C-alpha cells in the first residue's frame, strides 16, 4: 500500500521536527517535505505534490489562512491545521475549517508518556482522515489493522440494562461526527427550529477548541449552542457540544435528562468518544432517543449506535455521497444498527418528523 505523503508547514523548527518524527514513525505515513513558511512551501509544491499538508496558523510572510485560501482556489490538497491552544489561534483555525481545511490538531508538546502517546494517535489519525477526505472527487484509503490499544465504551460505563424502565416520553437527539463534521454540523443545526428537542453532540476536536466552535454555531443557528458543562440539563432548543478531551454521557434523573462530563482513557481512539455518548443514550433514553452519525474517519460510534438500535432508539447515518469521509457511518451500517441512511440535508427534517 502506498504511504500517505505529507508536507509540514510551520515556522518552528522544533515543531517541524517533532511532527516529522511522529508522522514518519507511522508505517502508513511518509513526510516528503517541510517548509518554514507558505512562501517556501509554494516553491516546493512546484515539484512535490503531497497527499496531505499540515499547516501552522500563524507564520511570518504569509499566515496560514491566506495560504489555505490560495491553495484551495488553485490546487486543492487536504489540509490539517496545526494550532497552538491560544484563543486567537483557535478562532483562526475554526475559520480555516470553513475555508476548506479538513481537521485541526494542536501543536505537539512535551508531557507524560500517556499524553505523548495520545497526541501521536490524534495527529496520525487526523492525517489519515484528511487523506481519505473528498475534495471534489472521492479519495480512498484503507487503513491497516489496528495495532494500538483500542478501548471500548466498557472502560467508561457498563453496557445498558435492557430491564431499565424509562418513565419520560421527551425525545433527545445524540449526534456523533469527526472528519468533516464541523461543517456538517453547521448545515444540520442551521436547519433546526428554536423548539427542537434537546441535542448532545460529540465532535472529535482538540481541547480548548470546542467552546469557540460552539460560540460560532450559536451565532449562526436558531437553537442555542454551547459547550457542555457537567450537570447541564438537556432542554428543548439547545444543543450541547462535548468539551474537547472529555467524555460526555447522557444521564437521567426522573424525567430530567442531563449530561455528565467525565475523564478516562481514549475510547475507540478518541476522547470525547461517540461510543460513550451513544451507550449512555441507549441506557438512559432508550426508545426516547434519536441517534445520528455523521461524516468521520474510523469506527467511533458504530458499536454505540448498535446498542441504541437494540434499545429501541431510532438511528440515522449520513449517506456516502454527502460525507467528507464515509468511515463512521459506514461502520455503523455494517454493525446493523442503522434504521435510515440519508443525505445530510434531509436529516434535520427527518428528526423533526420523528420527534413530533
Which residues carry out catalysis?
A: 178, 204, 300
| Residue that the C-alpha cell 467524555 belongs to | 247
Is 194 in contact with 238 (CB distance < 8 Å)? no
Phi-psi region of 39 (alpha: psi -120 to 50; beta: other; left: phi over 0): alpha
**3-state class (DSSP) for residue 269:** coil
Matching residue, cell 421527551: 170
Within 182-328, strands assigned E span: 199-203, 224-227, 238-241, 247-253, 256-262, 289-293, 314-318
Across the chain, which distance is largest between two alpha carbons, in Å? 64
Please say whether the beta carbons of 40 and 29 come within 8 A: no
Four-point Cα dihedral 245, 251, 257, 260, nearest 10: -30
Position of cell 439547545?
238
Rounded Cα–Cα distance for residues 183 and 200 (Å): 17
Exposed / middle / buried, residue 150 (Cβ in 10 Å: 0-12, 13-18, 19+)? middle
- Which of 25, 19, 21, 18 lies closest to 3, judged by CA? 25
Closest residue by Cα to residue 315 from 295, 332, 339: 339
Q: Which three cell numbers stand for residue 82?
A: 496545526
Contact 38, 68 (CB under 8 A): no
Q: For the CA atoms of 136, 347, 289, 168, what is the dihedral angle to 10 degrees?
A: 150
Q: Which helix (H) or strand (E) holds 173?
A: strand 172-177
Cell representation of residue 222: 436558531
Contact 255, 267 (CB under 8 A): no
Amino acid at each position: 500500500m502506498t504511504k500517505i505523503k505529507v508536507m509540514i508547514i510551520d515556522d518552528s523548527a522544533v515543531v517541524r521536527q517533532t511532527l516529522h518524527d511522529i508522522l514518519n514513525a507511522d508505517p502508513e505515513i511518509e513526510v516528503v517535505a517541510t517548509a518554514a513558511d507558505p512562501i517556501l512551501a509554494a516553491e516546493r509544491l512546484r515539484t512535490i505534490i503531497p497527499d496531505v499538508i499540515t499547516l501552522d496558523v500563524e507564520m511570518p510572510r504569509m499566515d496560514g489562512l491566506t495560504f489555505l485560501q490560495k491553495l484551495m482556489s488553485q490546487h486543492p490538497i487536504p489540509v490539517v491545521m496545526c494550532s497552538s491552544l491560544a484563543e486567537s489561534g483557535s478562532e483562526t483555525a475554526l475559520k480555516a475549517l470553513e475555508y476548506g481545511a479538513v481537521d485541526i490538531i494542536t501543536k505537539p508538546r512535551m508531557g507524560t508518556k500517556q499524553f505523548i502517546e495520545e497526541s501521536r494517535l490524534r495527529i496520525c489519525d487526523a492525517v489519515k482522515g484528511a487523506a481519505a477526505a473528498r475534495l471534489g472527487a472521492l479519495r480512498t484509503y484503507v487503513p491497516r489493522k489496528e495495532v494500538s490499544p483500542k478501548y471500548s465504551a466498557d472502560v467508561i460505563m457498563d453496557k445498558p440494562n435492557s430491564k431499565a424502565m424509562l418513565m419520560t416520553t421527551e425525545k433527545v437527539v445524540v449526534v456523533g461526527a469527526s472528519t468533516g463534521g464541523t461543517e456538517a454540523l453547521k448545515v444540520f443545526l442551521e436547519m433546526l427550529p428554536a423548539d427542537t428537542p434537546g441535542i448532545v453532540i460529540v465532535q472529535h476536536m482538540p481541547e480548548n477548541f470546542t467552546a469557540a466552535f460552539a460560540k460560532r454555531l450559536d451565532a449562526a443557528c436558531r437553537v442555542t449552542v454551547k459547550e457542555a458543562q457537567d450537570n447541564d440539563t438537556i432542554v428543548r432548543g439547545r444543543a450541547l457540544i462535548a468539551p474537547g478531551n472529555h467524555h460526555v454521557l447522557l444521564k437521567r434523573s426522573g424525567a430530567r435528562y442531563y449530561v455528565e462530563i467525565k475523564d478516562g482513557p481514549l475510547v475507540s481512539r478518541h476522547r470525547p468518544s461517540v461510543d460513550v455518548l451513544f451507550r449512555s443514550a441507549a441506557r438512559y433514553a432508550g426508545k426516547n432517543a434519536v441517534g445520528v452519525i455523521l461524516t468521520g474517519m474510523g469506527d467511533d460510534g458504530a458499536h454505540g449506535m448498535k446498542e441504541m438500535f437494540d434499545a429501541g432508539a431510532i438511528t440515522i447515518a449520513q449517506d456516502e455521497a454527502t460525507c467528507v469521509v464515509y468511515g463512521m457511518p459506514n461502520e455503523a451500517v455494517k454493525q446493523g444498527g442503522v434504521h435510515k441512511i440519508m443525505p445530510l440535508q434531509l436529516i434535520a427534517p427527518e428528526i423533526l418528523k420523528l420527534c413530533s
